[in-house]
Amino acid sequence: MTTPHIQAKSDQFAETCLLPGDPLRAKFIAENYLQRAECITSTRNMLGYSGFYNQRPVSVMGTGMGMPSCMLYAEELIKDYGVKRLIRVGSCGSTDPEIGLNDIVLAAGASTDSNANRHQFNGYDYAAIADFDLLSGAVDVAKQQKKTVKVGNVFSTDSFYHPNRKLTAMLNRLHILAVEMEAAGLYSVAARHRARALAILTVSDDLITQQHLSGDERERSFDTMITLALAVATDSDG
């Protein structure tokens, strides 16, 4: 069975899927990290692949930018393709002076300026949180791999170019570590379907010092995050 947005056959996705916003980052991961990777969907150029890492099946698919796009793909992957673990591998802007370019943030929770979760929750405020097992698994794997990660709250925004000029300072006051555009929506979709989700993020923009990675680096670097996420994805306890 296909969906309007995914042309893969129903059995072609692994139970664990990495989800970068950028479909070309999905291609980069598939071609450089997976064994026997096969492109299984390209509808709207939203590339998705399945292959193996450490002999275990894993998929990777782009979600596009922003919550509406990410939530749509997450919903179809879970409901129509049986994906059970969704690990976002995204870029983010750091809002904490202790966190700089290329640092890794694990989004334990995701605050938001979006109404996307209120639509599902009668207008109430939903506390969007990562799956605890995936999160604690990622912390353990990071320790094994001797990688430093920061764990905390992030801010999922609908506006990359945010109208609030004081946003960074406001988020820092509430100890929010970074800004991105999908985690809050991904977490609510996963929770609604009793799937597991975690956002692992790499800092591409230091919003305090105004240092930025290039577009090419956002597509083709991030080895620290990718190898962490793949180890979590293929963890035998998963």
Ligand X SMILES: O=c1cc[nH]c(=O)[nH]1
Distance (Å, whole) CA 109 – CA 210: 25
Q: Is the dihedral of CA 227, 228, 231, 232 positive or negative?
A: negative
Tokens standing for 147? 């990688």
Interface with ligand R1P in residues 198-217 (CB under 6 A):
none
> Residue 82: how many CB atoms within 10 A of its CB?
13
**Which entry of 22, 131, 205, 206 is annotated as an active-site residue?**
205
Amino acid identity of residue 223, one-letter, is D
205 binds, among ligand X, ligand R1P, none (CB under 5 to 8 A by kind): ligand X
Residue 11 CB-density burial (10 A; 0-12 exposed, 13-18 middle, 19+ buried): exposed
76 binds, among ligand R1P, ligand X, none (CB under 5 to 8 A by kind): none
Task: Identify each DSSP E strand in 8-55 by its residue range.
Answer: 16-19, 35-41, 48-53
88 marked as part of a ligand binding site: yes
Task: Identify which of residues 83 and 183 has a Cβ nearer to ligand X in the complex.
Answer: 183
Site mask for ligand R1P (CB under 6 A), range 33-72, x = bound: --------------------------------x-------
Q: Which residues are annotated as a binding site for a purine D-ribonucleoside?
A: 5, 180-182, 204-205
Residues that bind ligand X (CB under 6 A): 91-93, 160, 179-181, 204-205, 207
